[in-house]
């Protein structure tokens, strides 16, 4: 019987920033699809680890602060030690800082660029060295609607996420001949802890909902579904692509 092109059984993955929200949903969805998962980040991902283990898959916890590239090599080494190999990397860890453009400070600029773009690149590089040596692998970056738009009061986040789009394409160009696909997911407005303030703001919530053709906020599981596709053999001829999962926001 021919295996399904969506079959992920027996694969391994490293997911960053998986303690809540989108990262957690992706990590758990991968485990439900048969993937052993390592999760890496600053916060203890107790709930995520339990959910992965409940599927019967292996869960590996790696403590790391992605505010600098210092832990990058160790994170990949620990993932390889715990999982045996690395088939999939999901770069989800990220931060955001908000301030008026005229008052935006250097420290907030550097913190966001370092976490969301610089560390993402060097972690991908470290993982890609292993993947390229094996001739296969999937790297999935979490971009944003601000990969395409400018946003308001988040200049460093817009710059970083625009950079994620560019880096995704640059990595895809060089890694495709080595059997490694690199893509990104650009989430729309997703109902998570990070967007709780927007959801609670009656005016902003109404404005957002009026522009989303799907008529609802996205769920973390909506992003997880896209990640499963990009992690699977079904996407072997997809690389350098930024997949917007936004309920139609960009089409409006």
Statement: the pTM of the whole predicted model exceeds 0.95 = yes
How many Cβ atoms from other residues are within 10 Å of residue 242's Cβ?
Answer: 18
In a domain, 63, yes or no: yes
In the DSSP assignment, the letter for residue 208 is H
Mean per-residue pLDDT of the chain: 97
pLDDT in tens, 51-98: 999 999 999 999 999 999 999 999 999 999 999 999 999 999 999 999
How many residues belong to the chain? 252
In a domain, 7, yes or no: no
In a domain, 250, yes or no: no
In a domain, 99, yes or no: yes
How many Cβ atoms from other residues are within 10 Å of residue 174's Cβ?
Answer: 12
End-to-end CA distance of the chain: 43
The residue from 66, 157, 189, 217 that is catalytic is 157
| CA dihedral for 56, 57, 58, 61, sign (positive or negative) | negative
In a domain, 67, yes or no: yes
Structure tokens at 144: 């944003």
In a domain, 248, yes or no: no
Phi and psi at residue 61, to the nearest 5°: -105, 130
- List the CATH number of the domain containing 65: 3.40.50.720
> Does the annotation mark 157 as catalytic?
yes
**Host domain of residue 219:** 12-243
pLDDT in tens, 116-153: 999 999 999 999 999 999 999 999 999 999 999 999 99
- Give the number of domains in the chain: 1
User: What confidence category does residue 1 fall into, taking pLDDT thresholds of 50, 70 and 90?
Assistant: low
Helix (H) or strand (E) holding 107: helix 106-113
């Amino acid at each position: 019987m021919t295996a399904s092109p969506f079959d992920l059984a027996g694969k391994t993955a490293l997911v960053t920033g998986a303690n809540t929200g989108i990262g957690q949903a992706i990590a758990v969805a991968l485990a439900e699809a048969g993937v052993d998962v390592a999760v890496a980040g600053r916060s203890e991902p107790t709930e995520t680890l339990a959910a992965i283990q409940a599927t019967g898959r292996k869960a590996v916890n790696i403590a790391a602060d992605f505010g600098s590239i210092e832990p990058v090599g160790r994170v990949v080494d620990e993932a390889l030690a715990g999982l045996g190999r690395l088939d999939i990397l999901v770069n989800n860890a990220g931060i955001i800082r908000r301030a008026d453009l005229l008052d935006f400070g250097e420290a907030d600029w550097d913190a966001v660029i370092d976490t969301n773009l610089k560390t993402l690149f060097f972690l991908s590089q470290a993982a890609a060295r292993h993947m390229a040596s094996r001739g296969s692998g999937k790297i999935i970056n979490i971009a944003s609607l601000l990969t395409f738009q400018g946003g308001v009061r988040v200049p460093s986040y817009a710059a970083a996420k625009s950079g994620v789009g560019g880096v995704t394409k640059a990595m895809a160009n060089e890694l495709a001949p080595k059997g490694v696909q690199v893509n990104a997911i650009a989430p729309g407005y997703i109902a998570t802890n990070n967007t709780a303030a927007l959801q609670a703001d009656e005016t902003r919530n109404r404005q957002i909902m009026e522009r989303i053709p799907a008529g609802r906020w996205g769920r973390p599981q909506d992003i997880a579904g896209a990640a499963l596709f990009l992690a699977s053999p079904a996407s072997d001829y997809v690389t350098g692509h930024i997949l917007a999962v936004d309920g139609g926001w960009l089409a409006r």
